[in-house]
Every structure is written in structure tokens, then in C-alpha cells.
């Protein structure tokens, strides 16, 4: 109980709200695990320096929110899967909508590591996840893995960053956060059980790295970083070599290593030039094909 936040006497909000906020935070950060019994009302009152009636009011608030459940004669327990109580499907779909707004924030959240090499407007987490999913589909095909599941793992692998942020490699040596699986559990707490289980399961599978699809998804993440590093290098002469080297070193599938070799032999700025150089010929060919189809239709008429 010592890791719970004590209430601030200078905070003008009602005491029961401050107590509920502290207990809720302890649940969300995993201090109190699902199914775990909370300290007694007397112990909580002593810890927070409030009356037991205040604690009871706080527990009622948390119970109405779906974070705890009271068992007669036993005490108060953290729910196995916190979920908002109320108007059934509408409340749960509101939870889905809130999650979709939350992952939309990833479209504005920059990948922080690129700031360290001087990229002023780096790609967002969502942009990274999109190409990672495309790479995942390709690698899964080459490696004989499930393409749909791999793409799903790639799309969701960074969703916890909406809450913990994108921490660059330098920062990870100094900062620790709640595990991605726990963040995902909190993000989906107000969703229908079936939806929550799918999203949580995908995040857990990606983090556990126990399936071929998760191996491919991790490789796709690294190859996307390799591609972006080479593109930033070409666009602004940024020193992205460490990102390229770490991406290559972390690959674990043969398909990914072969694709990485191909990436290294291509120029990020060249993919469109062959089309530009042949623009007139392509236009002529396209018009010729349309004319042929038109003549064919006319003859049939």
C-alpha cells in the first residue's frame, strides 16, 4: 500500500474523489492485480487520513466505474477485467470509439529517435506502423507465415505508445514503463470482451515472440526502420548509420535478411525515375490500348 499516492491536502477536490483516484491509479499501474483483494476500509482510512465513510464512498465510485467488486463477508476485489458499467452495448462500443480516438493520436506522435539525428519533422508512429504492416505481409508470404495475422501484429505493435510515448534507445537505459501487455489491457478495458481479447492477444503474441508470425512482425519493424533510415540519409545527409546497423543486426528470419540485402542495393530516390523517363511512351501505350478496345467494341456493334 506504500506505493499508492497519498492525497494532497492542498487539492480542493472532495476527499472521496482523491482517494478513488489514488486507488484507481494503483489498479491501472498493476500495483493491485486483477482478482486481488484491496486493503480493508480501516487500513485505507488510516493510510489516506480520512474517515471510513469517505473510503466507502470512494469504493462505491470505483465499483460503479467497474474497477472493483464487493463480495459480502470477504471484502473488495479488483475486477478480473475492469469494464464500465451501465448501458451494456452502448457503453462498450463507446469504449471501442475511445480506443479508436486514442490510436488516432499515433498519427501525431513522432518517432522520437529521428529527432536525435536532426530530422525536424520525423515520421509518426502510425506512419511507421502502416509500412511495417505492408512489409509484414510480404515477409509472411516469403516465410510461409499467416499474412493476415502478421499484418495485425504489425499494425498493433506500437499502440501502447499512445500512453507511454515513443522512447528512443538512449532513453530506455534510464526509463522503465509498464509492460505493453498491461497498457493494452488498460486500453481495452471498456471494450466488449471478444474485441478486447483479440487486441490484447495480438499485443501479447508480439511481445512474447513465440510464433513465426511474431518473428516476422519484429523483422518487419526492423526493415521499416532500415528503409526509413536510408530515406532520411538520402534526403538530408543525416547520420542514420546506427539505425541501419541495429536494424540489420536484429533480423532473425532468412526472408528478412534477403529483403534487407535488396533494400541496401536500391536507391531510395530512384523508384519513380524509370516511370518518369518513360512517361511519353507509357502514355502512348495507354492511349493505344484504349483505342484498340474502343475499336473492338465498335466492330462488335
Of 115-129, 130-144, 174-188, give the lowest mean pLDDT range: 174-188
Taking alpha carbons only, the member of 290, 181, 173, 271 closest to residue 230 is 271
Instruction: Supply the pLDDT for residue 273.
Output: 83
Helix 241-249 and helix 212-236, axial crossing angle in degrees, nearest 10: 160
Q: Report residue 21's pLDDT band, with 50, 70 and 90 as the boundaries.
A: confident
Instruction: Supply the pLDDT for residue 54.
Output: 93
Instruction: Name the more confident of 299 and 161.
Output: 161
Segment 77-96 mean pLDDT: 66
Specify the CATH number of the domain 100-273: 1.10.3210.10
Instruction: Please report the DSSP string for 240-287 in residue order.
Output: -HHHHHHHHHT--SHHHHHHHHHHHTS-TT-TTHHHHHTHHHHHHHHH
Instruction: Supply the pLDDT for residue 296.
Output: 59
Instruction: Supply the pLDDT for residue 148.
Output: 95
Taking 80 as the threshold, does the pLDDT of residue 282 lie above it? no
Say whether 100-273 and 15-78 share the same fold: no
Q: How far apart are CA 190 and CA 199, in angstroms?
A: 12
Query: DSSP character for 7?
Result: P
User: Phi and psi (nearest 5°) for 156?
Assistant: -100, -5
- Cα 253 to its chain centre, rounded Å, is 23
Q: Report residue 47's pLDDT band, with 50, 70 and 90 as the boundaries.
A: very high
Specify the CATH number of the domain 15-78: 1.10.10.10
Instruction: Supply the pLDDT for residue 205.
Output: 95
Q: How far apart are CA 125 and CA 128, in angstroms?
A: 5
Return the domain boundaries, the chain. Answer: 15-78, 100-273
Instruction: Name the more confident of 286 and 129.
Output: 129
What percentage of the chain reaches a pLDDT higher than 70?
89
What percentage of the chain reaches a pLDDT higher than 90?
58
Amino acid at each position: 500500500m506504500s506505493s499508492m499516492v497519498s492525497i494532497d491536502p492542498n487539492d480542493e477536490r472532495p476527499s472521496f474523489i482523491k482517494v478513488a483516484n489514488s486507488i484507481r491509479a494503483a489498479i491501472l499501474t498493476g500495483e493491485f492485480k486483477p482478482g486481488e483483494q484491496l486493503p480493508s476500509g480501516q487500513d485505507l482510512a488510516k493510510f489516506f487520513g480520512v474517515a471510513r465513510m469517505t473510503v466507502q464512498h470512494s469504493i462505491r465510485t470505483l465499483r460503479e466505474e467497474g474497477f472493483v467488486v464487493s463480495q459480502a463477508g470477504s471484502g473488495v476485489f479488483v475486477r478480473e477485467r475492469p469494464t464500465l458499467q451501465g448501458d451494456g452495448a452502448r457503453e462498450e462500443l463507446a469504449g471501442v470509439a475511445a480506443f479508436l480516438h486514442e490510436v488516432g493520436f499515433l498519427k501525431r506522435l513522432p518517432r522520437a529517435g529521428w529527432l536525435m539525428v536532426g530530422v525536424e519533422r520525423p515520421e509518426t508512429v502510425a506512419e511507421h506502423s502502416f509500412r511495417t504492416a505492408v512489409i509484414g505481409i510480404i515477409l509472411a508470404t516469403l516465410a510461409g507465415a499467416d499474412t493476415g495475422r502478421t499484418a495485425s501484429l504489425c499494425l498493433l505493435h506500437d499502440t501502447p505508445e499512445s500512453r507511454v510515448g515513443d522512447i528512443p534507445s538512449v532513453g530506455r537505459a534510464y526509463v522503465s514503463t509498464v509492460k505493453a501487455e498491461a497498457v493494452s489491457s488498460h486500453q481495452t478495458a471498456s471494450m466488449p470482451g471478444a474485441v478486447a481479447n483479440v487486441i490484447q492477444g495480438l499485443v501479447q503474441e508480439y511481445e512474447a515472440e513465440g510464433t513465426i508470425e511474431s518473428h516476422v512482425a519484429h523483422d518487419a519493424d526492423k526493415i521499416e526502420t532500415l528503409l526509413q533510415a536510408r530515406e532520411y540519409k538520402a534526403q538530408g545527409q543525416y547520420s542514420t548509420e546506427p539505425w541501419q546497423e541495429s536494424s540489420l543486426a536484429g533480423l532473425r528470419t532468412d526472408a528478412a535478411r534477403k529483403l534487407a540485402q535488396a533494400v541496401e542495393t536500391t536507391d531510395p530516390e530512384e523508384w519513380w525515375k524509370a516511370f518518369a523517363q518513360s512517361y511519353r511512351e507509357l502514355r502512348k501505350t495507354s492511349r493505344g490500348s484504349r483505342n484498340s478496345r474502343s475499336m473492338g467494341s465498335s466492330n462488335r456493334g
